[in-house]
Structure 1
Amino acid sequence: MRPEMTDDEFDAAVEDALAQIPETLASRVDNVVIFVEDRYVPRPGEPADTVLLGLYEGIPLTERGGEPWAMPDQITLYKESILDICSTREEVIDQVTITVIHEIAHFFGIDDETLHRLGWG
């Protein structure tokens, strides 16, 4: 059965996940905004049934060259998509943590293949 979670409860799970990032890494996460939306809306050219739990949009640290025009990086978590794959509140909290770590890793330039190999896919 799909768990229910208020927006405030989900936001608290996101905050808890962010708090788990070691300070040595967290201190390097700068100019990043985090959003929570219900579901990912596929872009033109993507399959209509594309489902994402999270999305990092920006310039990873490994690719930056001092772009003065760069907008803040964005991480978006998709609440309803996460709730859909979980059956307990504990699973939601675990999945939020995995998704936050996964997207923060993209900020640091770590690709999906590496994250899946490390168990953060």
Structure 2
Amino acid sequence: MDPVTDEQFDAIVQEALDDVPAELMAMLDNVAFFVEDEPSADDPDLLGIYEGTPLTERGEWWGQGSLPDRITLFRGPLTRMCADAEELREEIAVTVVHEIAHHFGIEEETLHDLGWG
């Protein structure tokens, strides 16, 4: 894929987020989306990551002063694996759904079994 500017990538991310069903996005609770250039050196091919407390693990006092959960997309691995902007948009949407599933408490193994891994 030809290099994309930060602005072009952000626009593709917005398009991909618009592709995620609105019902699914409405179910998110205190989640912020971020874009970073590269993941840690421990997992250089990581496309995205969910960091936070899944809904299934929140108690009645959760959220009192808590920062939002984070879904981070990694520009480098995503653009390297995609041939064009359309494929990139689709891969970002799949990655977002995958990370949202973690927010709902769905484990990696289950996601793989469902074809989202």
TM bin, normalised by shorter chain, reads: 0.7 to 0.9
CA distance in 2, matches of 1:98, 1:14: 11
Q: Scaled by the length of structure 2, what TM-score is found?
A: 0.85
CA distance in 1, matches of 2:17, 2:32: 12
Q: Greater shift after overlay, 58-67 or 25-34?
A: 25-34
CA distance in 1, matches of 2:65, 2:56: 17
**2:12–2:85 Cα contact (<8 Å) kept:** no
CA distance in 2, matches of 1:76, 1:119: 21
Residue among 91, 94, 97 paired with 1:98: 94
**1:61–1:109 Cα contact (<8 Å) kept:** yes
Q: What residue is the counterpart of 1:40 in the other structure?
A: 39
Q: What residue is the counterpart of 1:81 in the other structure?
A: 77
1:115 deviates by 1.5
1:57 deviates by 0.2
1:9 deviates by 2.1
1:4 deviates by 2.1
CA distance in 2, matches of 1:39, 1:12: 18
Which is helix-richer, 1 or 2? 2
CA distance in 2, matches of 1:110, 1:18: 20
CA distance in 2, matches of 1:9, 1:90: 12
5+ long unaligned stretches in structure 2: none
Q: Scaled by the length of structure 1, what TM-score is found?
A: 0.83
**1:54–1:78 Cα contact (<8 Å) kept:** yes
1:33 deviates by 1.0
**How many residues get paired?**
115
CA distance in 2, matches of 1:56, 1:6: 24
CA distance in 1, matches of 2:76, 2:12: 14
CA distance in 2, matches of 1:70, 1:99: 25
Q: What residue is the counterpart of 1:8 in the other structure?
A: 7
1:110 deviates by 1.1
CA distance in 1, matches of 2:109, 2:49: 15
Paired-residue identity, % = 49
Residue among 38, 48, 51 paired with 2:45: 51
Judged with a 3 Å threshold, the aligned counterparts in structure 2 of structure 1 residues 4 and 50 are, in CA distance, closer, same or farther, namely: closer
5+ long unaligned stretches in structure 1: none
